[in-house]
């Protein structure tokens, strides 16, 4: 027997941690269960619904956000609106979800062990709302990498970058996040070979935080029931001795 053949391959998995931690190369993601308590999530969800008139619609109503999400505005060619409204949208997030942006930056700082700042002129952490019974509920989201906010030189250098998601209101069933053992290789469209790599799905509970490499391939899975899927997200990239964050 070949000794090398007898050693089982290490299959990347989602690592569950009691405290926020930086994903290692063998982690698909790090999951911190109950990072936000149930009462705090309920308060934030109440604020999100109170702000309904200020939600930003995307892709013909397939999804909405409190705060402007860069990737949706980029894909819809609304970049000018994103920057023109950034300060106003940050103020709305603070009004209806007080302290959320600061808490997400603190969570990131606990993960990376370095200062985390909000990228100047950009939106801070915001909230994604995927409607119950909508397109994403039935079909799931797009399979993608979170590279839209990376500047060309950061992308070329593969600067360390993270995505952090905290689930405020999971749907009644489904709606997890599937992550593949595949990273961005220069093409935004995942290849068949990447989609054939091992993958794992994380089922969210209320207040669960998920931390993963922004270059990792992932997908929001379909979900059932009459409850919207509501989560808060922040992206970050290392710039020297600090990390810049945005939504």
The two tokens of residue 15 are: 């690592």
Whole-angstrom Cα distance, residue 172 to residue 66? 22
Mean pLDDT across the chain: 95
Tens-digit pLDDT profile for residues 117-129: 999 999 999 999 9
Average pLDDT over residues 129-145: 97
Whole-angstrom Cα distance, residue 26 to residue 38? 30
Q: Return the domain boundaries, the chain.
A: 20-246
Tens-digit pLDDT profile for residues 140-178: 999 999 999 999 999 999 999 999 999 999 999 999 999
Task: Return the CATH number of the domain spanning residue range 20-246.
Answer: 2.60.120.620
Tens-digit pLDDT profile for residues 16-63: 999 999 999 999 999 999 999 999 999 999 999 999 999 999 999 999
Question: What's the CA angle centered on 143, arms 137 and 233, to 5 degrees?
Answer: 75
CA dihedral sign, ordered 73, 79, 83, 88 = negative
- Predicted confidence (pLDDT) at residue 4 exceeds the cutoff of 70: no
Whole-angstrom Cα distance, residue 128 to residue 184? 23
In degrees and rounded to multiples of 5, residue 199 shows phi and psi of -145, 165
Average pLDDT over residues 108-119: 98
- Predicted confidence (pLDDT) at residue 86 exceeds the cutoff of 70: yes
- Predicted confidence (pLDDT) at residue 5 exceeds the cutoff of 90: no
């Amino acid at each position: 027997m070949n000794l090398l053949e007898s050693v089982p391959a290490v299959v990347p998995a989602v690592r569950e941690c009691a405290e926020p931690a930086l994903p290692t190369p063998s982690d698909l993601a790090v999951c911190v269960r109950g990072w936000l308590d149930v009462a705090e999530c309920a308060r934030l969800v109440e604020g999100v619904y109170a702000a309904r008139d200020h939600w930003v619609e995307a892709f013909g109503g397939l999804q909405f956000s409190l705060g402007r999400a860069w990737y949706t505005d980029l894909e819809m060619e609304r970049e000018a609106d994103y920057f023109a409204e950034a300060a106003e949208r940050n103020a709305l997030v603070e009004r209806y979800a007080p302290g959320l942006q600061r808490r997400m930056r603190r969570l990131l700082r606990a993960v990376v062990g370095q200062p985390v700042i909000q990228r100047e002129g950009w939106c801070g952490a915001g909230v994604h709302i995927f409607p119950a019974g909508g397109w994403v509920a039935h079909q799931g989201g797009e399979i993608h990498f979170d590279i839209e906010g990376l500047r060309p030189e950061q992308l070329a250098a593969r600067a360390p970058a993270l995505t952090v998601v905290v689930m405020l209101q999971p749907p009644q069933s489904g709606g997890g996040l599937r992550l593949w053992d595949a990273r961005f290789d220069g093409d935004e469209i995942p290849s068949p070979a990447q989609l054939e790599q091992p993958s794992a799905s994380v089922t969210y509970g209320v207040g669960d935080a998920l931390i993963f490499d922004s270059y990792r391939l992932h997908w929001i899975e379909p979900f059932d029931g009459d409850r919207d899927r509501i989560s808060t997200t922040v992206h970050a990239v290392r710039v020297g001795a600090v990390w810049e964050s945005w939504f």
